[in-house]
């Protein structure tokens, strides 16, 4: 920006840079800044600086020599004709660390540990539910091996998704949508757990030592029976994962996204959040006071004190010891809240305020009731494919997992879009959606091979944590993957997480799930809420998503078609609120007349030319987002592969015309 100042008596020059967003006048920084003012440890990505030059006639300047500063302390380059003033326009970033930023290693470790604490409760819950459903409730060895396999798949899936998949900071964890089908399978005679009387008769007629087959006065289910259930579910899950992978590799997910927009996604994902309360209550009810303290601590640090910084002692060669101001309390709000809640639970345990009776809810709020898990866990355990035997196939299990795969696709598409919004980046293009779904399918196959009995999908709670902490670095989630692999191999380290009081985990889930629901609801800004069409579709989808599962729960035997397998399939579908809400909203959104703009599927007019669309997208990226579409590309992959003939048939790369691929990507506002 070159301008010539008018000649008047107002000089020496006093220059100001106008803040582009808040329109506040801020003093210019000198061009010749002291290097000691720079701090290598400052938080990166906090500002975006634009420099411009103001040329002033030499006759209207005051200087202190051939080259130096004017009377107001601004840098000048002395010339016979002009004075050059550097103007810096500083645009504050909405994130502390952007997707492409690389925080210092010690910060990455702390951020990764914080995110890991958010999801460990779900991982433990799912692995314990699987143990219950395969009749291994009292078999600690089976439970430990399933937990180890679950941790391994969390680590591998998270690292692969953030590196090769959609390349967003997304946490991949055990999917509750795959647990619902397992519950349905327990209604089958061959999947029901034997009663203690039947087990007593079995061991009476066998040559096995009865003493070794009992734990806490209960008979253990024979390993052969347990392994058979794991093998059947594993093979069926692998078949479902193959279907999941093919949807991504063939580009069908891009076809699906043409019919799935905010009107479909919002009701489906909100129903997930509304049903999360059951898990949150299960943990928080062990002690509501500690749960409220944990939630309140995170809210105060992350929201009420969001505009403040924390004084941190620091040292470097230029400045020596000094005080830095960084928003550490916001970045580590959840981690600090967990520590505070854990300490209070320990204090209540030491004062014997919490009940020590195993049947009391407060039993799991104590810090000394599960320490034996650490001592009993082996130091090392390496999960491997086929550890429970060769996978087999069960038609009923496959049908159940197939339905779960369809529901997880809808969940993942919504989470990808929600994560992009939380990170202030453009919506994933079609090839990124395809690649992410394909990676999830591969991970489902591996999960089945290792005997997890569940697949991995993206977690909304961790997306909510990104919006809370303002840390969206991809490197953090790669470190999370490595941490979980470490937890899987060194089981004593992973067992420490099991000892976290349930009330602390409940308090964390309250705030993270709440933020995630809010992020999802914010996408309604792209939908025409003045349209009675949209309001009716969203309202009916939410209502039916709550009604039908409740009705099925109250009337488990109400569906009688005469075909047992069909009854089970229908029961599984209407028992899942995500499927009901997503199906109703998707059907109505694509059959009831409405424009693309009204449905929130397009921010630009489809009649505009590609050049106009591309220009508007570029302007939109520079104004609204912290990163551009380049974050979805794999930079270290050779261009020959990206532009090869195979890329035409496997649409997981940008191809020869990345701009076109991005332009034609589905415009979802999640």
Q: Is the pLDDT of residue 37 over 70?
A: no
Work out the pLDDT band at 558, boundaries 50, 70, 90.
confident
Residue 372's CB is within 10 A of a number of other CB atoms, namely 12
Tell me the pLDDT tens digit for each residue of 228-271. Answer: 888 888 898 899 899 999 998 988 876 776 787 788 878 877 88
Three-state SS at 353 = coil
CA-CA-CA-CA torsion sign (544, 547, 550, 555) = negative
Q: What is the C-alpha to C-alpha distance for residues 126 and 356, in angstroms, rounded to an integer? A: 25
Tell me the pLDDT tens digit for each residue of 49-85. Answer: 555 555 555 555 454 444 455 544 444 444 555 556 6
pLDDT of residue 616: 45
pLDDT, the chain, mean:
75
Per DSSP bridges, beta strands 214-215 and 75-76 are: unpaired
Q: Is the pLDDT of residue 86 over 70?
A: no
The continuous run of DSSP H or E covering 435 comes out as helix 430-450
Three-state SS at 206 = coil
Three-state SS at 198 = helix
Tell me the pLDDT tens digit for each residue of 194-236. Answer: 777 777 777 777 666 555 566 556 677 788 888 888 888 889 8
CA-CA-CA-CA torsion sign (494, 500, 502, 504) = negative
Work out the pLDDT band at 660, boundaries 50, 70, 90.
very low
Tell me the pLDDT tens digit for each residue of 398-445. Answer: 777 776 787 678 778 778 888 998 898 988 888 888 899 999 999 999
Work out the pLDDT band at 45, boundaries 50, 70, 90.
very low
Three-state SS at 48 = strand
Q: What is the C-alpha to C-alpha distance for residues 433 and 414, in angstroms, rounded to an integer? A: 11
Q: How far is CA 539 from the centre of its chain?
A: 26
Tell me the pLDDT tens digit for each residue of 283-319. Answer: 888 889 999 999 999 899 888 888 888 887 877 778 8
Q: What is the mean pLDDT of residues 525-552?
A: 89
Q: Is the pLDDT of residue 6 over 50?
A: no
**Is the distance from CB of 121 to CB of 283 less than 8 angstroms?**
yes
Q: Is the pLDDT of residue 627 over 70?
A: yes
Helix/strand/coil (H/E/C) assignment for every residue in 123-174: HHHHHHHHHHHCCCCCCHHHHHHHHHHHHHHHHHHHHHHHHCCCCCCCCEEE
b/e sequence 225-241, b meaning 16+ C-beta within 10 Å: bbbbbbbbbbbbbbbbb
Between residues 655 and 347, the one the model is more confident about: 347
Percent of the chain with pLDDT over 70: 73
Lowest-pLDDT choice from 283-287, 326-330, 338-342: 326-330
Closest CA to 523 of 303, 264, 274: 264
Q: How far is CA 112 from the centre of its chain?
A: 12
pTM of the model: 0.67
Percent of the chain with pLDDT over 90: 15
For the chain, give every domain's residue range: 16-92, 105-588
Q: What is the mean pLDDT of residues 577-584?
A: 83
Q: What is the C-alpha to C-alpha distance for residues 326 and 332, in angstroms, rounded to an integer? A: 11
Phi, psi of 18 (to 5 degrees): -85, 125
| Residue 562 backbone class (left: φ over 0; alpha: ψ -120 to 50; beta: rest) | left
Phi, psi of 223 (to 5 degrees): -60, -35
Closest CA to 270 of 538, 635, 647: 538
The continuous run of DSSP H or E covering 44 comes out as none
Residues in Cβ contact with 110 at an 8 Å cutoff, skipping those fewer than 6 apart? 332, 335
Lowest-pLDDT choice from 120-124, 186-190, 501-505, 628-632: 186-190
Q: What is the C-alpha to C-alpha distance for residues 26 and 49, in angstroms, rounded to an integer? A: 13
Task: Name residue 90's beta-bridge partners.
Answer: 49
Three-state SS at 218 = strand
pLDDT of residue 214: 64
Count, residues in the chain: 670
Q: Is the pLDDT of residue 665 over 50?
A: no
**Is the distance from CB of 97 to CB of 103 less than 8 angstroms?**
yes
pLDDT of residue 11: 37
**Tokens 């720079």 -> residue:** 38
**Is the distance from CB of 162 to CB of 419 less than 8 angstroms?**
no
Q: What is the dihedral angle through the alpha carbons of 250, 253, 255, 256, rounded to the nearest 10 degrees?
A: 150
pLDDT of residue 24: 40
Q: What is the C-alpha to C-alpha distance for residues 233 and 395, in angstroms, rounded to an integer? A: 10
Tell me the pLDDT tens digit for each residue of 513-523. Answer: 777 677 677 77
Q: What is the mean pLDDT of residues 372-384?
A: 81
Bond into 12 cis (ω within 30): yes
**Is the distance from CB of 625 to CB of 631 less than 8 angstroms?**
no
Q: Is the pLDDT of residue 153 over 90?
A: yes
CA-CA-CA-CA torsion sign (54, 57, 63, 68) = positive
Burial of 138 (0-12, 13-18, 19+ CB in 10 A): middle
Q: What is the DSSP letter of 369?
A: S
Three-state SS at 242 = helix
């Amino acid at each position: 920006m070159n301008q010539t100042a008018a000649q008047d008596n107002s000089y020496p020059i006093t220059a100001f840079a106008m803040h582009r967003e808040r329109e506040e006048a801020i003093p210019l920084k000198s061009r010749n800044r002291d290097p000691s003012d720079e701090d290598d440890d400052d938080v990166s990505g906090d500002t975006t600086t634009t420099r411009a030059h103001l040329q002033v006639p030499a006759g209207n300047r005051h200087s202190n020599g051939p080259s130096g500063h004017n009377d107001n302390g601004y840098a000048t380059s002395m010339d016979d004709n002009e004075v050059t003033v550097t103007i810096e326009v500083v645009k504050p970033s909405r994130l502390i660390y952007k997707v492409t930023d690389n925080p210092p290693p010690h910060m990455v470790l702390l951020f990764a540990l914080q995110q890991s604490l958010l999801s460990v409760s779900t991982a433990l819950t799912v692995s314990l539910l699987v143990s219950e459903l395969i009749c291994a409730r009292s078999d600690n060895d089976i439970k430990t091996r399933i937990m180890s396999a679950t941790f391994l798949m969390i680590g591998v899936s998270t690292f692969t998704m953030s590196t090769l998949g959609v390349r967003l900071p997304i946490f991949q964890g055990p999917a509750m949508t795959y647990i619902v089908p397992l519950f349905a399978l327990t209604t089958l005679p061959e999947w029901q757990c034997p009663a203690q009387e039947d087990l007593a008769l079995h061991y009476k007629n066998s040559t096995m030592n009865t003493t070794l087959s009992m734990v806490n006065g209960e008979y253990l289910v024979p390993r052969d029976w347990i392994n058979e259930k794991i093998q059947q579910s594993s093979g069926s899950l692998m078949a479902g994962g193959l279907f999941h992978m093919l949807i991504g590799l063939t580009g069908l997910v891009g076809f699906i996204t043409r019919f799935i927009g905010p009107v479909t996604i919002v009701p489906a994902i909100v129903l997930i959040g509304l049903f999360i309360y059951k898990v949150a209550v299960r943990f928080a009810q062990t002690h509501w006071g500690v749960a409220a303290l944990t939630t309140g601590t995170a809210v105060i640090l992350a929201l009420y004190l969001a505009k403040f910084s924390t004084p941190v002692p620091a040292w470097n060669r230029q400045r020596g010891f000094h005080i830095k101001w960084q928003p550490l309390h916001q970045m580590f709000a959840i981690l600090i809240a967990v520590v505070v809640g854990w300490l209070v639970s320990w204090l209540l345990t030491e004062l014997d305020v919490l009940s020590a009776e195993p049947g009391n809810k407060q039993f799991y709020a104590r810090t000394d009731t599960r320490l034996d898990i650490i001592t009993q866990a082996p130091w090392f355990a390496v999960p491997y494919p086929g550890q429970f035997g060769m996978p087999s196939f069960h038609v009923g299990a496959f049908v159940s997992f197939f339905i779960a795969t369809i529901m997880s696709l809808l969940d993942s598409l919504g989470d990808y879009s929600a994560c992009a919004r939380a990170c202030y980046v453009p919506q994933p293009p079609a090839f990124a959606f395809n690649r992410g779904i394909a990676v999830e399918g591969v991970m489902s196959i591996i999960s089945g091979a290792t005997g997890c009995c569940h697949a991995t999908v993206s977690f909304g709670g961790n997306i909510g944590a990104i919006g809370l902490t303002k840390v969206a670095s991809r490197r953090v989630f790669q470190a999370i993957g490595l941490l979980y692999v470490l937890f899987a191999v060194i089981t004593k380290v992973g067992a420490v997480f099991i000892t976290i009081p349930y009330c602390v985990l409940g308090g964390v889930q309250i705030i993270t799930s709440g933020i995630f629901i809010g992020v999802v609801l914010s996408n309604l800004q792209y939908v025409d809420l003045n349209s009675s069409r949209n309001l009716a579709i969203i309202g009916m989808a939410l209502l039916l998503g709550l009604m039908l599962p409740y009705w099925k729960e109250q009337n488990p035997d109400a569906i009688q078609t005469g075909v047992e397998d069909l009854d089970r399939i229908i029961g599984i579908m209407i028992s899942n609120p995500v499927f009901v809400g997503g199906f109703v909203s998707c059907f109505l959104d694509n059959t009831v007349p409405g424009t693309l703009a009204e449905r929130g599927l397009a921010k630009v007019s489809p009649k505009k030319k590609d050049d106009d669309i591309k220009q508007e997208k570029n302007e939109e990226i520079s104004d609204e987002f912290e990163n551009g579409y380049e974050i979805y590309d794999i930079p270290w992959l050779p261009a020959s592969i990206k532009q090869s003939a195979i890329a035409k048939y496997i649409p997981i790369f940008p191809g020869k015309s990345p701009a076109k691929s991005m332009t034609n990507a589905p415009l979802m506002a999640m």
